[in-house]
Amino acid sequence: DQQVKQNSPSLSVQEGRISILNCDYTNSMFDYFLWYKKYPAEGPTFLISISSIKDKNEDGRFTVFLNKSAKHLSLHIVPSQPGDSAVYFCASTTGNQFYFGTGTSLTVIP
Amino acid sequence: DGGITQSPKYLFRKEGQNVTLSCEQNLNHDAMYWYRQDPGQGLRLIYYSQIVNDFQKGDIAEGYSVSREKKESFPLTVTSAQKNPTAFYLCGSAGRLWGNTIYFGEGSWLTVV
């Protein structure tokens, strides 16, 4: 059973606008959440994380929001750039294992 | 430079042959992981190891084997028992403290013909 879900397989956004990628999880024991960016035939690279004691974390153009009551997190990219075009994975962990969503393919249109 | 090295990047094998994918890390991480990614799908956990000489099965361990004789190394063997071995394989490592991040190597493409 998929414990981390990304229900939007793809997203297209104009350059300069905001990209919002969403992720839902089912396991209430998850206490740390991460976002990764992945290009084809490469390993995922870590973008940003958030712990369950926070509801927001920012790093430059990237902001992650966590809504624990809804078991939902989102990644905001502002402004979006063509180089942001990639597949984005969210992940959750209880410490021993990391659980990944199926990814959202973001295309930023110049 | 610190990081995770996977080799080979591309590998072709005939059906029925075992193949071993290498993963080495110099990040001094205790935990290491193997994931598989199929086209259009997410990352599925094959095996993970929290400490030397110990490892646990993930969600799709059938047809795979691993060893963890050294902290730095976590090789994955894809055996002939694996029904659909053609895939992109990712090795990752992480510290054991809470709030640690998993970092990945560049991946290995295995094609079985």
Q: Which two tokens stand for residue A103?
A: 């990814």
A83 interfaces chain B, CB cutoff of 8 Å: no
pLDDT of A95? 74
Instruction: Tell me the pLDDT of chain B averaged across its residues.
Output: 92
How are beta strands B10-13 and B108-112 bridged, if at all? parallel
Query: Is residue B100 very low, low, confident or very high in pLDDT (cuts 50, 70, 90)?
Result: confident
User: What average pLDDT does the segment B60-81 reach?
Assistant: 96
pLDDT of B91? 97
Name the percent of chain A lying above pLDDT 90. Answer: 85
Provide the greatest CA pair distance for chain B: 42
pLDDT of B95? 85
User: What average pLDDT does the segment A1-13 reach?
Assistant: 92
Instruction: List C-alpha distances in Å: B79 to A71, A107, B13, B21.
Output: 38, 37, 11, 11
pLDDT of B82? 87
Which chain B residues touch A103 with a CB distance below 8 Å?
A: 41-42
B53 interfaces chain A, CB cutoff of 8 Å: no
State pLDDT tens for residues A27-52.
998 989 999 999 988 999 999 999 99
Q: Do A97 and B106 touch (CB under 8 A)?
A: no
State pLDDT tens for residues B3-26.
999 999 999 999 889 999 999 999
Residue B1 confidence (pLDDT) above 80 = no
Between CA A32 and CA A91 the distance in angstroms is 9
Residue B57 confidence (pLDDT) above 80 = yes
